[in-house]
Each structure stands twice: as C-alpha cells, then as structure tokens.
Amino acid sequence: MSLLVVGLSHRSAPVSVLERASLAADAKVKLLHDTLAAEPAAEAAVLATCNRIELYADVDKFHAGVAELSTLLAQHSGVALEELTPYLYVHYEDRAVHHLFSVACGLDSMVVGEGQILGQIKDALALGQELHTAGRLINDLFQQALRVGKRAHSETGIDRAGQSLVTFGLEQLAVRVPVEEWAAGKRALVIGAGSMSSLAAATLARVGVAEVVIANRTAERAERLAEILVASGTGVAASAIAMSGVADELGRVDVVVSCTGATGLVLTGDDVAAAVEAGPAGAVPYPPFHRSPGLRPGPDDGAAPLPGASPRTPAPQTPAGLDVPAGPDSAGVDAALVARLAVLAGEGRRIADAGAVRSKVVVEERDGCPVGLEALASDPGRTADGRAALAGVDAGSLELHGTWADQGEAAAQRQQPRKGVRDLVDAQPVRLALLDLAMPRDIDAAVHRIPGVRLVDIESLAETSADAPMAADVDAVRAIVAAEVAAFGAAQRAAHITPTVVALRAMAAEVVAMEVARLDGRVPDLDERQRAEVTQTVRRVVDKLLHAPTVRVKQLASEPGGAGYAEALRELFDLDPQTVASVSRADEADKNHDSGRAS
C-alpha cells in the first residue's frame, strides 16, 4: 500500500484561499482523469467539501507523487502552485488512513462531530467508482472510512461534542435564544437542493419554522424536496420556486440558508438591501442603504449607534470621519454630539461603537491622551455638560482622543472590559437572518453592514468553533480511529501477500498433479480407489508442509514493514511474477464486483 493524500482544509488555509480553490463538479472529474494519467498514480479519489479539498491516490513513488498531486490541485483549483503550497498538507500510508478515518468521524470538521461529512465521503467514493478511478485500495479505504464513521457515531457520544454545521449555524443566528424558540413561526428560504441544502431544509422544519421555500436551478429537485418536507410529519408548509424568484422572495422571509455550487454570488448586497428596505408586509421599511462602488467591509462595520440615535439611519460623514453637523460653537461641533462622545470615552467604549465611521489614525503610545482629554475618562462628572467639557475642541482632536480610547491606554479602559462590537450587534433587532454554507460563498460578505441583517458564514463559524472544548467522547472516538487504522493497515499488508501465497499453492497443486500423472505411467495397474488414496496422501503432505510457512508469512506481512516477505517468498520458491500478477488482477476484479456502489 502506498496511499498518499495531498490537500488543504479550514485548519491549514484561510477561508479566502479555500473559496478560490474550490472545485466545481466538472473540475473534479477532470482532476481524477488527469491524476490517473499522471505516471505515479494508479487510482484516485477526490474529497471536496465546503471546507476541504483532498486528493487521495495510490502512488508508486512518494516524492514524485507529492509533486504531481500538488501540481494537479493547483491547476484544477485555479490557484497558483506557489500560492497554494504553504497551505497544503501531505499524509502517507498509515498517516493518510488515520487522516481519512478522523475526517469520517467528524474529528477534523469545523464543528467537531458533525455527520454531514459521511455523505460527502460516500459521494467521493461513488464518483471514483463511476469514473473507474477507484481501484481496490481506494474502495477498501473509503468503504472502511464510512464504517468507522458510523461506528463512532453509534458507539460514542461524539454527536454531543458538536452539531451539524446547519444546526451550529442556526444557533449562531439565534445568539442566546434557543433555536426552537427563535425559529417558531418564521418563514425560511433555502437556496439549493443538494445534500447540505436538503439537510438545512429538514433541520429548519424540525426546529419549528412555519414555512420553507426551496429555490433551485433544477425545478424538479426543488419540488421533490418540498414534497419530502410536507410528508415529513413536522407540520411545516413547503413550496418550490424558480431561482429567478429569489430576489422577490427575500422580502417575504425571515431566514435564508444558501448552499449552492455556484462560482459567483447568489445574493448580492443590493439584493439583500432592497429586501430589507422593502420589509415584509405590514412592517415599517428600513431606510435605503447607501453604498459606494467597490466599498468593502471594514473592522468597525456593523457597530451600534450612538446612545439615543436610530440604529437604522446612516450618519452623515465629514472628511475627518466624524458626524459633525454645523453648530454655534467655533469648532463647528454640535455640543450634544460632543457630550455623547465624551460619555462614551468615559465608559471605555470605542468611538466606532457609537456608529461614527472614521478614518484610522495612529498615535504614539503614551500614558495620557495625546490631546489632553484624559480627564474625561477619569472624571465622569465632567462629561455631564458637553459644552463645558469640550468647548472649542475641533473634530481632529476628538478623533485623536477616540483613537487613544480605542487602544485601551486610559486607566478606565484597563480596569473595565470593553464591550465588543459583536455584543453590540447581537443586541440589534434582526429583520433578515442569513446562513451561508457555500464554498465559495453564495452571499456577499458586505451584507453584514446593512442595518437589520445578521450574516453567519463559513468563516464566522470557523472563528466561533475554533476554541470549542474537547469532550471525553472525542477521546473515545480517537481510540476507535487508532484501532481501526491498525486493523486496516494489517489487513492491507496481509492482502498484499495473498496473491503470492495463492500462487505458491497453485504451483504446489501443479506439482502434485504432475507427480500423480507420472505415477499413473509407472504403475498403470492401480485401480481408482488406490489412485485416489495416493493422490490424497500426496496433497496432505504438501498442505502440511505449506501450512505453517504460509500462515506465518501472513502474520509477519501484516506487521509494519512486512511488505518484504512477499518478495522473499517469490524468490525462495521461484514463483513466476506473471502468475502472481494474474492472481492479483483476478482478486481485484472480484473485490470490485463484490463492493458495488458506495454504501
């Protein structure tokens, strides 16, 4: 066995790289064909999901195999090899088996223990079988990975260590409210009708949404999924629409889950903004969301408004980046705004948290405010009157003071934890909740800047689950994986010597037949009963002589480093390599016929 896997995942590469390296269906087919056409590979399979791309192959040369598989991944993903290389990982032989078994059990998933990966492994095997790129090794490996994954889920509580990606995403949308309570009575739109979208639709129905609308490029698949939901017994209403109707449907739903194979955006910022501005029937519409062409989201986007200000109204901006309407004082700064800014500084909050978008200003690290306004933070009493506290202070000085406050240099900020932007966003009312499970993304990441919109995508799920604690069940699954890897390796090594043992016994049977024929020529008077007794005696002698060596050689071959015993056996008994090869081909044909499709 010379199993090699080259790949990248959410653990080795940023989401931006995974997005660009994602493989469409036709690209996977071409990749598999090109892998078999490459000299080092005899069989191959590709596992491409929303957060991993892995190419498995049986190779005869390690270094040549790594170089070839890495080059092929780069060519078919569209990411230059020199850019992709830092994020690639390589596993070989037993380590490659351990990796796939861990993946199948959900140990390597973004959300530990999620079961969706089993369906994706099954699909990868089915594609390899369909294209005839999966030979004996790949079939054995992926079939066993499916069994190991099912065993882990049935024998341990790994499901408690993590949820499916859909459930986890919905929990992030619901924030601190139980998903069932959050989903009750909502109307949901599911874009796509593949395995992940189908899981999303079923999950939404299970947690109690009132209605699910399915949109898909193939109308028949959307209609079929809607029929299944209606017949599920959850009481959910379900219907199908064409993809062209998605934009109109956005204004009538509360939740959107999207997971398609599209290479471009399915929902743009304009689509979402228009839906939110229109609002559902009977609701007060949100004001228009103004965007500059090409504007990308920044780190302060999505922040909470100023105290007392409407969360839906974008603040007018000045060149300095502060909301500074004309006022009666010499600096042109409205005293009420100044007072609010001073209060925020005194509370240790960022100016950005107040909803004012401003330019970044870098200030030197020093003990006090660079413009001498640190007293505002240390003496809350002085913030009560904005006119008295900041009379005559210009906008630039206020911005410097805000930057100093951001960097946490004031004593008040060091003593009091700063309230994060995420916490402030979580507190805002949500008009439209979006869950993007596609890779590359289906929904424009900039929509999180739209008031009333909450977006959870693959990247945010990765950040949320990165520090999830390991459960005892995870350790139990790891023990299962270790035992299964050892058993699989032993079986494969033993299977490697089987054709040689079969060839040896065939040679022995041929020798027995030749000697019995020679005996017939020399002793022609033997009757049938005597001839049969002599033949049986000779066969028993040969079997007894071969039994111990063949059993022992299988045991030795199953141990690490035991591959050389097959070669030794061939040399000792002068076995014809062509005979051994013919036995291997016949055995492989029987194995492929018996394995059938992925199960």
Kindly report the CA angle at 243 between 237 and 249, in degrees rounded to 5? 55
Please give the structure tokens belonging to residue 76: 């078919």
Question: What gap in Å lies between CA 21 and CA 582, rounded to an integer?
Answer: 41
Judge whether 281 and 331 are in contact, CB under 8 Å: no
Neighbours of 296 (CB within 10 A): 9
- Three-class DSSP category at 209: coil
Q: Beta strand 41-49 with 52-59: parallel, antiparallel or unpaired?
A: antiparallel
Q: How far apart are CA 29 and CA 137, in angstroms?
A: 19
Distance CA 537, CA 596 (A): 41
Query: Distances from the Cα of 405 to the Cαs of 117, 246, 345, 370, 371, in angstroms?
Result: 46, 44, 6, 10, 12
Distance of CA 550 to the CA centre of its chain: 45
* Omega before 440 within 30 of 0, i.e. cis: yes
Are 258 and 192 in contact, with CB atoms under 8 Å apart?
A: yes
| 326/469 Cα distance (integer angstroms) | 53
Strands 255-258 and 432-436: parallel
> Active site includes 50?
yes
Q: Which of 403, 402, 575 is nearest to 504 (CA)?
A: 575
Q: Which of 50, 105, 259, 369 is catalytic?
A: 50
Which residues, in sequence order, are CB contacts of 117 under 8 Å at separation 6+? 49, 103, 104, 106, 109, 149
* Whole-Å CA distances, 493 to 81, 134, 254, 563: 34, 19, 56, 7
What's the CA gap between 561 and 518, in Å, rounded?
Answer: 42
- List active site positions: 50
